[in-house]
Each structure stands twice: as structure tokens, then as C-alpha cells.
């Protein structure tokens, strides 16, 4: 098999292995095409008002103010006097979409749907809004648009631009919803008078304030008062309009929030949210003791998925078809007969799902039978335990085929791993048998995989995995005798040592994912182990660098600082982001110089995305990589080595020796350090925008996700460049390293495959998926990064854009072009900032900010100075014979240049006086609601200063950056 064919088949099989977890462990709980059953109970309310306080945690909601009164005085008062208060245990993951799907749809969002992003429903499913007679939803487009697809569900949303994390207070998002609802109820359509109507209000201000300012901030805490007033006003509007006391009110939240302003995992602050219900059909369920604090409510905790059937039973509508929630029947104010019908309606809907699931699995569940269900329903003594048994049966059939399918998938990958070992034979020894297809081995190993789909009556879709295993076994049949030859040629003791060492290293590597301090132990031990294994002298700097690097995995991963820059750094950040990828190509092919250029470019970007010690970590990582290269490569060879522009990465020249295994493992552990040094996969699973605010502060999940992912992989590039230098100078075939990466990453993936889970906290679910994905695709991601490193080390700017690199040394060319471009960008940026400040903070809209037009005189003088400085060439200053006539001789040119510099410096100094005298020393006293689009109170003065500073820098860059002919 040629290497290209091997790569293609490897990619296909690993892609199947990756997607297998979504077919085996993370299958959607939704049964498509399942019809809803009509309700048996009488409705308890004509309409329900649902208020979702996005990101509100329980313990903040029940706080008291300085006067000793509850901040949510009206809502909690309703719970105490005529309703019920309980703690809602949210569905996981604790994100906005899954949380709303849980309490509106009655089931947990499957992770495959979460990975589809903030799109409309990837898989159609029922919600209480779908089942209502008619519904109106008000709030964020990220949530309302998901549930407003049916024609009878009407959505009213604001623009995404309003979701601004840089805003001083985001409670305007909530008051917007209140205003829209109030305007709607002033002249509503006649259909609001129907039975079975739902009003859904989504209040995002709390979540946005929590992300931007943290939950302990005044903005987040005071948002409770804002929400309480909104709910009070909404209740008044509804009651005044309908005047029939047939409305039920439900107030809850999709998720909570951690102290550092993130959510997604399973801590108590994220999973415990308030649930309050009162009005028609709700029984008073509070006592005086619980009303004192609400920290220990009188009612038991309610699962978030139980809210959906509660709303449906109140309205007397069909339950969402895929709901697995069990309503808390104790909160209903209903007769004994109607209460029995409420339970029967809930039971029938669950049993309908159970029957559909049992038909798909084909495996009996002995704990339940149709006779038992009919007897329980007819007895009139239906207990909640019976409903829980049905839910357990649904889960049983949902997971019944997992052991069978897991066996097929693992067999597929084991066969391919053995094939990879056979392909490695030519790099290990010269005397390797030619691969040849063995029919007896193929028939013997393939027979079980032919019988499994027949015995278990697998569907065509599930039988596909048996077919995939047969493909892998087919290739294994070619190399089975080669593997046998390698085993027989090795000494038994060496073979046992190899198997034990490989298994031990794989086990140690998996521990790093859960215990970062293992990585510290590995790097502290590395210099000692290297000296012991190679018997070489190790420089003290290697001990110091690796010891310093080992400190970082033991440091906390929580973001300790919140960056909230104004608009200005965003422009500069994206400029740096772009230019940083150009500078490495300006360097020569010298290995040391190119490694340093790439490391510096990555460092500048990493610092922009840092919130604490990440920049220091990157510096020590690069230092440790330099020391590693120097101990692996002779000093004379390393200092004088250069990359060859036309060399290929996938070379098959050379042998893969024992020391190369150690080097490859060191490379893998450096990648682990780059990944786990400043955090872990939880940083991706829990959303926190602090590190990406220099680039974007308006809610954009795709761009934010890209930047967060980019930050995680950025330190990988210097590691790959360092390893590329090592394999180039030591003549190690990367093809052999590729085979080793495939085998080692598959060993790790096997371990994490059996740890994938679809229940528990989002931290547990997300980490199990992430660990499996990272280890499985390690070989592919590292190969792609090595290709990027190869491109960045083997290409020059002149080959890509046609410029002459020699222009950097003299004669113009590229140097003049770069100087001109940089100067123009600086000049443009300076005026852009000034114009931006004039528009955002103009005198008409914000007279208190004192953004007067005469401040722009500084910029005009700086611009004139820009032209005056660059109208005088060096020859004007040195060669007076050029202008023998007139006043512009050498002396006149010098005077002209002096005036230009005086004007440039004067403009910068004057702009500094404007900044500090008018804004810093005496900041304008402007209330937050009068700021308009002006980001900060000192922004006008800061913009004037930066305008002149950038114009001055542009003058210097154009004057001294260019070379004259």
C-alpha cells in the first residue's frame, strides 16, 4: 500500500471512528414522526405567561437588599402568598439553547444538536409553544427564533447588535422586552382570547451582565430588581386586560452562572435556578419558615425537564411528543378525579415513547409490560414511581445496542492499528516480507462480523459498522504475516518490554487529561531521564527551563481578570492578527532565525488573547523548545543549518530508531504542555468571553468560538517548528513518525472511547467527548500543524508575492513597499479613530463630553507636518548643489524639516494636553444613560491623542523606513 493510499484510508476509518460516538453514545433522544396523544385531563388555566430569566442562579435571586427586603420582592411575594417556589435543577449542558429546550420541550438536548451551533432546530421536535393554540415570544433572536418556526408561534426579537458585552449595563435588553409586550397588549389580535395561549418572555440582561461584569457585580445583582419590576408590570397588564383570573404565571431560568461569569459545567451555581409558579391551577405551597430565606424551599427540587409537562397540563394541551418530564403533581390545584387524569395523560405520553423505542431496539425490558401499565391506570392509584419506571425503560431501549455497536467499531480500529504496525516494518528492519493477501485469515476473522447483524437483527444503518469492520480486516489480511514476522524476529523479553512500556506511557498520557500535575512531573523528570537514557551531558539551562515550564500546569485555570477594552484596541488587534502571519516569511531560511520569527509572531497574538500569565508561559515554552533542540542536535550543526526551499515533509529516507521513539514522545508531551499549560478542555466547554474581548465584544458565537479555539492551538506552532528542525537535521523520516502517531493516538482513543458519556454534568459530557476527539484526531491535527510549520519555514515572501527580498538590504524594493504600507495604515488609523470619536461622542448628542471641533486642529497640524517632513529627502540635506538658485538650498531644506518636526511634536504634545486636562484630570460627569454610543468618558481625548500619535509614527515610518535610490 502506498503512503498516499494509507493516509486516505486512515482518514476515512478515523472519521468513522469519530462519528461512531454520535451513533452509539450520543444518539438523539428525539423520535421523529411520533404523534402526540390528546390529553385526558381538564385544563386548569386558559393561558400561561412564561418568563425566562437567562443566566439567573438561585442564590442571587433570593438575595436581600440593604433594607433587608428581597430584591425579587413581587415574585417571591406571589410564591409565598398564592403559589409555589422550588429550586429548578437545570438540564445539562448549562447553556441557553439546551436549557430552553429542556423546560419547553421536556427532554435534554442531545450533544450532536448542540454542536450544530445556535441554529434553528437541527432535528424537529415538539415544545409547549408548538402544542399551544397560539403563542407569542419576545426576546433575544438567539432563543426566540429557535422556537418560533411554526406559523402559530409569533416571535418579536431585537437586533443582535444590542447584545453588547462592552455595555456598562445590559438591563436595557429586559426593558426592551417589557416595552414590546406592553405595546403588543395595547392592541392585540383577537386570537389572544382563545384557550391554550402562551406568552413567552426571554430576558437576556442578567446573562449578558454576568458574562461582562461577573455575578457579584452591581449590574448582575441589580438586574434582579429590574426583572421583578418587569414581572410585576407584565402581571398587571395581563390581569387588567383579561380580568378572568384564568392565567398561570411561571418564572424560571435556563441556567445559572459561576463566580467568574461562565456556564456550561455542572457546579451548583450553574445548575440550581429558581422556579416560581402562581395563578390559575397552582396550589399554594409555601410556609412561613421557607418564606424567610427561600434557601430551603418548602417544595422539593424540580427537574428542569419537568416544567414542560407542567405547562402543558395546566393548559390542557397535548404534551410535547418527546418529553420525558414528569410533572410535579403536588403543585396543581385540581380535584381528585382531574388529578388522576393529569397523571394518566403524563403516563400515556411516556408509554407512547416507550413502545416506539422498544420496537427500534428489539431487546425486551422485563421490568415493564402493557398489562402492568393498564392496571396502574385503571386502578386510579397511579404513582409517580410508575412514571419513573417508564422513563427508565425509555433510556434502556435508547442504549440497548451500545455494547454490540461498540464491539464492531473497536474491532475495526484494532484491525487497522495492526495494519499500521505492519506498514512500519520497512522502517524497523531491512528484511521485511512483501505484503500478500491471506484468504484463510480474512475468512476466519470476518465471519463473526457477518453473523452479528443477523443475530441481533440490526437495521441497515447499524449494520454499516459491521461492513466498516470488514474493510479494515481486509487490509489487515495483507499484513498479517508481516506482523507475525516482526513478532517472531523480536526477542520475547524485548517484546514484553515494548508492550508494557507503550501501555504504561499511554496510561500516563491519559492521566494528564484529568490530572494536569502529571505533566509537571514529566517535564521535571525529563532532563534526568534524558541524561540517563543517552549518557550525554545536559546543560543546566535545560533543567531550569523545563523546571520553570513544569510550574504552569499546577497554576489555576480561572480567568482572574476581565478585559473590557473600548472599540479602539479592536482595530489594532485585528491589524496585529493579520501582520503577524506575514513577518515570518520575511526572514531567511536560517533555522534559528525562522524559529524565532515564528515564535515572536505567535507570542504577539497570544498576548492579545491573554488574561493573566499566558504570555509568560509562551516565553518559557519557546525557551524550553530551544533547549530541547540544542540537546538533540549538535551545536555546530544547529547554528548553521538552513531549510531547503524545495524539500518535502513526507520523506521516507532513513530509519526509525529507538531514540526517535523518545523524540516523538517528547514532541507529544510538548503538545500536551502547550494545550494544558494554561488550562484544559473545560476552557472550551465553558463560555467566558474575557480573553477574546480585544477582538470582538458583540455576541457572535461562531467568531468567538474560532478565536477561543485559535488561542488554544496557537502555542502548538512553535512546538511543531522545533520538532521539524529536529527531524530535518537528524534525518528522521516523517512517514515513520506519522505511523507512530496513528498507533499511539489510537491507543489513547481506545481508552477514552469507553469513557464517553451522555449523562452527568456538561463538564463530564463535554470532557469525555473532547478527550476522545482530541486523542483520536491527534495524528491528523499534528500532521496538519506540521504541514503549516513546513510551509512557514520553507517559503519566502518573494516566492509568494513577487517582491525582491534583496530590497530589505538596499536599493528599495520590499523595504520601501512595506514602509509605505505601514505608514499609510498608521495615518489612516489615526484619522479613523478621530472620525469615530467625533461621530460617537459629538457635541449635539453628548454636550457634557465636550468633544469640540477645534480639537481637530491638532490633527490638521500633524497632517501638515507629515507632508513637510517627507517632502525633504536626504539629498536635500546633504547635497546643497542640487538647489543653487532660490531659497531652498541645503539650509532651507533643513529649516523646512525642522518646522515639520516641530509641528509634529507640537501636535502630539497638544493632544496630550487635551487628553489629560479636559478628560483625565476632570472627567465629564455623564450618566450611563446619556453616554449614547460613546464607549468611555475619556474616549474623545484618547482618540485625539492617538490620532496625532499614529500620524507622527506614520511620518517617522515613511521618512526613515524607506531607502532612496
Lowest-confidence pick of 342-346, 595-599, 687-691, 701-705: 687-691
Helices (H), 162-317: 172-186, 205-213, 218-242, 268-271, 307-315
Q: What was the pLDDT predicted at 570?
A: 64
DSSP-assigned letter for residue 681: T
Task: Count Cβ atoms within 10 A of the Cβ of residue 804 and give its class: 0-12 exposed, 13-18 middle, 19 or more buried.
Answer: middle
Q: Is the pLDDT of residue 776 over 80?
A: yes
pLDDT at residue 280 tops 90:
yes
pLDDT tens digit string along 908-918? 888 888 887 77
pLDDT tens column, 47-102: 999 999 999 999 999 998 888 889 999 999 999 888 999 999 987 777 888 889 89
Q: pLDDT tens digits for 213-228?
A: 889 899 999 999 999 9
Residues near 568 by Cβ (< 8 Å), separated by ≥ 6? Answer: 833, 939, 942, 943, 946
pLDDT at 814: 58
- How far CA 693 is from CA of 159, 697, 698, 699, in Å, comes to 20, 5, 9, 10
- Average confidence (pLDDT) over 510-518: 83
User: Which span out of 238-252, 386-400, 931-945 was modeled with the highest average pLDDT?
Assistant: 238-252
Q: Which three cell numbers stand for residue 558?
A: 480561572
Q: How confident is the model at residue 427 (pLDDT cuts 50, 70, 90)?
A: low
Q: pLDDT for 517-570, tens place per residue?
A: 888 898 999 888 888 877 777 888 888 999 998 888 887 654 444 444 344 456
Residue 477 has pLDDT above 70, yes or no: yes
For cell 508492550, what's the residue? 499
Residue 869 sits at the vertex; the CA angle it makes with 867 and 874, to the nearest 5 degrees, is: 125
Percent of the chain with pLDDT over 90: 24
Answer yes or no: are the C-beta atoms of 463 and 446 closer than 8 Å.
no
Q: How far apart are CA 683 and CA 707, in angstroms?
A: 12
Cell for 896?
523646512
Averaged pLDDT for residues 911-933:
71
Look at the chain and count its residues: 965
Res 933 pLDDT > 80:
no
What number is the average pLDDT over the span 450-457?
88
CA neighbor of 732 nearest in space, from 658, 670, 792, 651: 651
Q: Per-residue pLDDT averaged across 582-589, rounded?
A: 66
- ∠ CA 487-488-489, rounded to 5°: 95
| pLDDT range class, residue 123, cuts 50, 70, 90 | low
Helices marked H in 641-758: 658-676, 682-685, 701-713, 716-729, 734-753
Strand partners, 276: 85, 251
Rg for the chain, CA atoms, rounded: 34
Residue 697's pLDDT band (boundaries 50, 70, 90)?
A: low
Q: In what order do the strands lie in the sheet with 134-139?
A: 153-157, 134-139, 197-203, 47-53, 247-252, 272-279, 83-89, 302-303
Cα 776–chain centre separation: 19
Taking residues 684-700, report their average pLDDT. Answer: 59
Contacts of 937 (CB under 8 A, 6+ apart): 849, 919, 923, 924, 926, 931
329's grid cell: 403533581
**Predicted local distance difference test score (pLDDT) of residue 561:** 41
Average the pLDDT over 728-739 and give the result: 81
Grid coordinates standing for 443?
475468512
Please state the rounded mean pLDDT for residues 435-447: 86
Indicate if the alpha-carbon torsion angle 88, 93, 98, 101 is positive or negative. Answer: negative
- Give the model's pLDDT for residue 382: 75
Residue 868 has pLDDT above 50, yes or no: yes
pLDDT at residue 844 in the model: 54
Cα–Cα dist 171/212, whole Å: 12
Which position has the higher pLDDT, 350 or 603? 350
By C-alpha distance, which of 253, 354, 345, 247 is closest to 307? 253
Residue 947 · residue 911 · CB < 8 Å: yes
- pLDDT tens-digit readout, 131-163: 999 999 999 998 998 888 788 999 999 988 788
The C-alpha atoms of residue 164 and residue 162 are separated, in whole angstroms, by: 5
Say if residues 516 and 674 touch (Cβ distance below 8 Å): no
Burial of 737 (0-12, 13-18, 19+ CB in 10 A): buried
Burial 556-595 (b: 16+ CB within 10 A, else e): eeebeebbbbbbbebebbeebbeebeeebbbbeeebbebb
The pLDDT tens digits of the residues spanning 286-328 come to 666 667 777 777 678 899 999 999 999 999 999 998 899 999 9
DSSP conformation class of 808: G
Grouping H, G, I as helix, E, B as strand and the rest as coil, residue 245 is coil
* Cα–Cα distance, 171 to 230 (Å, whole number): 11
pLDDT at 306: 95
Q: Is the model more confident about 685 or about 402? A: 402
- Can you give the pLDDT at residue 317? 93
C-alpha cell at 451: 453473523
Report pLDDT for 264. 75
Asked if pLDDT for residue 671 goes beyond 70, the answer is yes
The pLDDT, as a whole number, for residue 300 is 84
Q: Indicate the burial class of 792 (C-beta count within 10 angstroms; 0-12, 13-18, 19 or more).
A: buried
961 has a pLDDT exceeding 50: yes
Query: Once rounded to an integer, what is the mean pLDDT over residues 31-54?
Result: 89
* Residue 492 CB contacts under 8 Å (≥ 6 apart), including other chains: none
Judge contact between 676 and 511, C-beta under 8 A. no
Is the pTM of the predicted complex or chain greater than 0.75? Answer: no
**Upper half-sphere CA count for residue 641 (Cβ side, 13 Å):** 25
What's the pLDDT band for 684 if we cut at 50, 70, 90? very low
On the question of pLDDT at 589 being above 50, the answer is yes
Residue 420: the pLDDT is 83
Does the pLDDT of residue 174 top 80, yes or no? yes
Average pLDDT over residues 779-799: 73
CA–CA–CA angle 358, 322, 46 (5° rounding): 140
Residue 89 makes CB contacts below 8 A (sequence gap 6+) with 271, 272, 301, 302, 303, 304
Amino acid 965: pLDDT? 52
Helices (H), ranges, 552-613:
567-579, 591-608
Nearest Cα neighbor of 446 from 419, 475, 483, 405 is 475
What's the mean pLDDT when you consider all of the chain?
Answer: 80
Amino acid at each position: 500500500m502506498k503512503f498516499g493510499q494509507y493516509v486516505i484510508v486512515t482518514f476515512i476509518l478515523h472519521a468513522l471512528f469519530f462519528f461512531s460516538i454520535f451513533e452509539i453514545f450520543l444518539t438523539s433522544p428525539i423520535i421523529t414522526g411520533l404523534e402526540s396523544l390528546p390529553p385526558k385531563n381538564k385544563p386548569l388555566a386558559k393561558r400561561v405567561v412564561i418568563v425566562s430569566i437567562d443566566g439567573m442562579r438561585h442564590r442571587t435571586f433570593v438575595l436581600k437588599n440593604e433594607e433587608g427586603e428581597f430584591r425579587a420582592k413581587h415574585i417571591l411575594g406571589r410564591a409565598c402568598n398564592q403559589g409555589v417556589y422550588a429550586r429548578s435543577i437545570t438540564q445539562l449542558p448549562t447553556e441557553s439553547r439546551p436549557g430552553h429546550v429542556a423546560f419547553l420541550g421536556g427532554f435534554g438536548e442531545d450533544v450532536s444538536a448542540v454542536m450544530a451551533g445556535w441554529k434553528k432546530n437541527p432535528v424537529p421536535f415538539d415544545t409547549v409553544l408548538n402544542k399551544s393554540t397560539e403563542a407569542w415570544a419576545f426576546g433575544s433572536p438567539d432563543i426566540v427564533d429557535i422556537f418560533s418556526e411554526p406559523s402559530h408561534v409569533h416571535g418579536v426579537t431585537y437586533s443582535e447588535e444590542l447584545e453588547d458585552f462592552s455595555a456598562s449595563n445590559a438591563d436595557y435588553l429586559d426593558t426592551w422586552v417589557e416595552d414590546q409586550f406592553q405595546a403588543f397588549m395595547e392592541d392585540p389580535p383577537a386570537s389572544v382570547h382563545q384557550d391554550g395561549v402562551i406568552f413567552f418572555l426571554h430576558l437576556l440582561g442578567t446573562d449578558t451582565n454576568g458574562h461582562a461584569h461577573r455575578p457579584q457585580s452591581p449590574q448582575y445583582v441589580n438586574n434582579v430588581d429590574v426583572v421583578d419590576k418587569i414581572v410585576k408590570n407584565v402581571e398587571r397588564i395581563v390581569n387588567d386586560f383579561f380580568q378572568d383570573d384564568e392565567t398561570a404565571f411561571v418564572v424560571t431560568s435556563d441556567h445559572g452562572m459561576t463566580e467568574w461569569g461562565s456556564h456550561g459545567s455542572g457546579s451548583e451555581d450553574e445548575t440550581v435556578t429558581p422556579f416560581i409558579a402562581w395563578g390559575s391551577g397552582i396550589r399554594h405551597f409555601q410556609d412561613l419558615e421557607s418564606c424567610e430565606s427561600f434557601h430551603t424551599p418548602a417544595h422539593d427540587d424540580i427537574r428542569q425537564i419537568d416544567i414542560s409537562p407542567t405547562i402543558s397540563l395546566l393548559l390542557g394541551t397535548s404534551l410535547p411528543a418527546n418529553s420525558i418530564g414528569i410533572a410535579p403533581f403536588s403543585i396543581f390545584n385540581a380535584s381528585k378525579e382531574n388529578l388522576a387524569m393529569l397523571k394518566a395523560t403524563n403516563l400515556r405520553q411516556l408509554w407512547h415513547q416507550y413502545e416506539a423505542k422498544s420496537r427500534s431496539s428489539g431487546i425486551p425490558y422485563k421490568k415493564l409490560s402493557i398489562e402492568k401499565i393498564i392496571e396502574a391506570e385503571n386502578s386510579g392509584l397511579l404513582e409517580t414511581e410508575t412514571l419513573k419506571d417508564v422513563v427508565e425503560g425509555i433510556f434502556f431501549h435508547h442504549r440497548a445496542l451500545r455494547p454490540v455497536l461498540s464491539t464492531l467499531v473497536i474491532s475495526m480500529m484494532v484491525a487497522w492499528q495492526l495494519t499500521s504496525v505492519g506498514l512500519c516494518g520497512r522502517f524497523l528492519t531491512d528484511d521485511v516480507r512483501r505484503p500478500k493477501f491471506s484468504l484463510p485469515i480474512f475468512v476466519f476473522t470476518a465471519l463473526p462480523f457477518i453473523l452479528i447483524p443477523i443475530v441481533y437483527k440490526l437495521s441497515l444503518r447499524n449494520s454499516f459498522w459491521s461492513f466498516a469492520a470488514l474493510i479494515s480486516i481486509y487490509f489487515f489480511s495483507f499484513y498479517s504475516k508481516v506482523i507475525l514476522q516482526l513478532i517472531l524476529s523480536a526477542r520475547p523479553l524485548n517484546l514484553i518490554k515494548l508492550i508494557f512500556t507503550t501501555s504504561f506511557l499511554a496510561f500516563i498520557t491519559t492521566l494528564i487529561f484529568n490530572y494536569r500535575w502529571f505533566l509537571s512531573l514529566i517535564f521535571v523528570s525529563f532532563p534526568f531521564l534524558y541524561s540517563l537514557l543517552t549518557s550525554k551531558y545536559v546543560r543546566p539551562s535545560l533543567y531550569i527551563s523545563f523546571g520553570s515550564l513544569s510550574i504552569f500546569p499546577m497554576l489555576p485555570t480561572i480567568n482572574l481578570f476581565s478585559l473590557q477594552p473600548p472599540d479602539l484596541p479592536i482595530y489594532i488587534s485585528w491589524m496585529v492578527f493579520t501582520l503577524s502571519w506575514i513577518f515570518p516569511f520575511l526572514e531567511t531560511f536560517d533555522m534559528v532565525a525562522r524559529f524565532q520569527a515564528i515564535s515572536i509572531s505567535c507570542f504577539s497574538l497570544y498576548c492579545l488573547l491573554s488574561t493573566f500569565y499566558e504570555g509568560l508561559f509562551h516565553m518559557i515554552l519557546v525557551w524550553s523548545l530551544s533547549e530541547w533542540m540544542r540537546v538533540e542536535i549538535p551545536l555546530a550543526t544547529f547554528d548553521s543549518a538552513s531549510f531547503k526551499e524545495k524539500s518535502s515533509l513526507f520523506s521516507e529516507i532513513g530509519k526509525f530508531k529507538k531514540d526517535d521513539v523518545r523524540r516523538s514522545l517528547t514532541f507529544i508531551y510538548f503538545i500536551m504542555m502547550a494545550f494544558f499549560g494554561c488550562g484544559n478542555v473545560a476552557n472550551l466547554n465553558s463560555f467566558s468571553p474575557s480573553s477574546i474581548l480585544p477582538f470582538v465584544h458583540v455576541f457572535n458565537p461562531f467568531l468567538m468560538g474560532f478565536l477561543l479555539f485559535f488561542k488554544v492551538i496557537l502555542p502548538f506552532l512553535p512546538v511543531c517548528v522545533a520538532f521539524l528542525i529536529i527531524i530535518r537535521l537528524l534525518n528522521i523520516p516523517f512517514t515513520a513518525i506519522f505511523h507512530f502517531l496513528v498507533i499511539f493516538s489510537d491507543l489513547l482513543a481506545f481508552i477514552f472511547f469507553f469513557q464517553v458519556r451522555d449523562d452527568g454534568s456538561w463538564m463530564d459530557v463535554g470532557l469525555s467527548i473532547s478527550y476522545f476527539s482530541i486523542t483520536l484526531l491527534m495524528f491528523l491535527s499534528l500532521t496538519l500543524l506540521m504541514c503549516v510549520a513546513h510551509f512557514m519555514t520553507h517559503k519566502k515572501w518573494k516566492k509568494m508575492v513577487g517582491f525582491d527580498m534583496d530590497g530589505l538590504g538596499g536599493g528599495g524594493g520590499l523595504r520601501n513597499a512595506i514602509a509605505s504600507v505601514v505608514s499609510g495604515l498608521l495615518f489612516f488609523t489615526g484619522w479613523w479613530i478621530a472620525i469615530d470619536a467625533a461621530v460617537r461622542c459629538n457635541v449635539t448628542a453628548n454636550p457634557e463630553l465636550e468633544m469640540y471641533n477645534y480639537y481637530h486642529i491638532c490633527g490638521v497640524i500633524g497632517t501638515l507636518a507629515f507632508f513637510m517632513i517627507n517632502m525633504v529627502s536626504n539629498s536635500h540635506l546633504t547635497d546643497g548643489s542640487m538647489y543653487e538658485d532660490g531659497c531652498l538650498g541645503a539650509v532651507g531644506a533643513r529649516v523646512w524639516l525642522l518646522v515639520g518636526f516641530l509641528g509634529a511634536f507640537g501636535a502630539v504634545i497638544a493632544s496630550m494636553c487635551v487628553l489629560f486636562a479636559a478628560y483625565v484630570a476632570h472627567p465629564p460627569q455623564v450618566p450611563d444613560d446619556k453616554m449614547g454610543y460613546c464607549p468611555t468618558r475619556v474616549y474623545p481625548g484618547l482618540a485625539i491623542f492617538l490620532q496625532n500619535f499614529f500620524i507622527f509614527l506614520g511620518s517617522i515610518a515613511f521618512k526613515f523606513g524607506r531607502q532612496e535610490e
